[in-house]
Structure formats: structure tokens, C-alpha cells
Amino acid sequence: MSIDLSFYNWELFTNYILKGLLFSIQLTVIATVGGIVFGTFLALMRLSGKPALVYPATFYINTMRSIPLVMVILWFFLLMPLLIGRPIGADLSATITFIAFEAAFFSEIVRAGIQSVPRGQAYAAQALGMTYGQNMRLVVLPQAFRNMIPVFMTQTIILFQDTSLVYAIGAYDLLKGFEIAGKNYGRPIETYVLAAATYWVICFSLSKVVRKIQMKVAIIR
């Protein structure tokens, strides 16, 4: 048994892989942005000190963190049509799921980031007469986010790897692209190797970038 990759050409790439790759990237970007936005709100709820906000946010975060992502994907795929009343596609379902799921993980990063800002900063902003919203928007969050950038990116790499789990509901992502190409060309073994190599190159180079940024942020601090 030997591996022959000669069948892998530009035509195969544009016909099968590109569509999946673009969906995986799109899913990663939307889930990162959406997850950070919702995650920030969740983190602010948890840090608000008001029980009516703290408990629902804590419950949501802990629930999401204790369920396997595959099950969350299946849950949303099952429940979404029941709630909306009409079937939705695997792509849209996956997107909503990843935003909701990643929000829980990003919120923990944001919370740690906010807590890493010295208290004196928030006190100083209060002393200047800023409201809570101004305090967060102008003083605390800008500093917190700067500290969080490397952790955000690490989470994004994990998120990119996790997008392969949309396999469970049959969405067409990078892995699916390779799998279908493998079936159509009768080369399943080679396409799995190629899929692994593609994911590895993307994730490895991103992690190198993160390490560079980490050093830069560390110097500024």
C-alpha cells in the first residue's frame, strides 16, 4: 500500500475543497465575532453582581461547557425547526450553534481579561464621573481586550478545528469536501491524509502567528 497524490490537482481543489474551506473559514469568522460579542455580554452579566443577571449567565456558560459540542450541534439541529416552525439548513443551524457555543467559552476569556485590569483603573474612571457604560467602553474593555488578543486567537484555532464537527449534521465543510472528493475519485485514504495536512498547515501557521503576537503584547505590558 502506498500513497499516490497525483490525482490531487487544481480542478479537484476548486470543485470540491474550496467550497468547504470557505464555509469552514466563514463559520470560524462568524462564530469568533459573534462569540466575542455575546461572550462579552455574558461576562458583563456574570461580573455585574446582580443575582438576576449572574445566575442565568452562569447557568448558560456552565451548561454549554459541560456538553460535548457534537451534542450541542445535534440539539440545535433538532430544536431550531421546532422553535421556528420550519426546517432550517445544516449551514445556518451550524452557524447559530457555533455562535451560541463559543459565546460561553469566549465569555470566560473576557471575564479573566476584565479581572486582569487593575481595580484602580475602574475606580479612577468612576472618580472622573463616568457612568458604568462609559467606564467599560472607554477604560476597562479596551485594556482587557488588548491583554486577551493572544487567548482569543488560540481559541479561534481551536474553533477552526471544531468546525469539522458539523460532520454530524452533514454540513459541507473542509473535511466533508475532502471526503466527497475521496469518494468520487475512489481515493478515500489519500484525501483523509490531505485533509489532515491541510488542517495542520493552517492551524500550525496560525499558532506561530499567535506566539509572535503574544511576545509583542507581553512587551507592551
**82, 84, 219, 220: which one binds other proteins (CB under 8 A):** 82
Minimum distance from residue 14 beta carbon to other proteins (Å): 21
Contact 93, 77 (CB under 8 A): yes
Which residues inside 4-63 make contact with other proteins, applying CB under 8 A? none
Decide: is 200 part of the binding site for other proteins (CB under 8 A): yes
Does 193 engage in binding with other proteins (CB under 8 A)?
Answer: yes
Choices 4-12, 64-72, 121-129, 139-147 (CB under 8 A): range interacting with other proteins: 64-72
Closer of 40 and 198 to other proteins (Cβ): 198
Confirm or reject binding of residue 165 to other proteins (CB under 8 A).
Answer: yes
**Contact, 211 vs 29, CB < 8 A?**
no
Distance (Å, rounded) from C-alpha 87 to C-alpha 65?
27
Instruction: Return the range that interacts with other proteins (CB under 8 A); candidates 13-21, 92-100, 131-139, 161-169.
Output: 161-169
Answer yes or no whether residue 84 interacts with other proteins by CB under 8 A: no
List the x/- string, 100-139, binding to other proteins by CB under 8 A.
Answer: ----------------------------------------
- By CB under 8 A, name the binding residues for other proteins: 1, 66-71, 74-75, 78-79, 82, 157, 161-162, 164-165, 167-168, 175, 188-189, 192-193, 195-196, 199-200, 203-204, 207
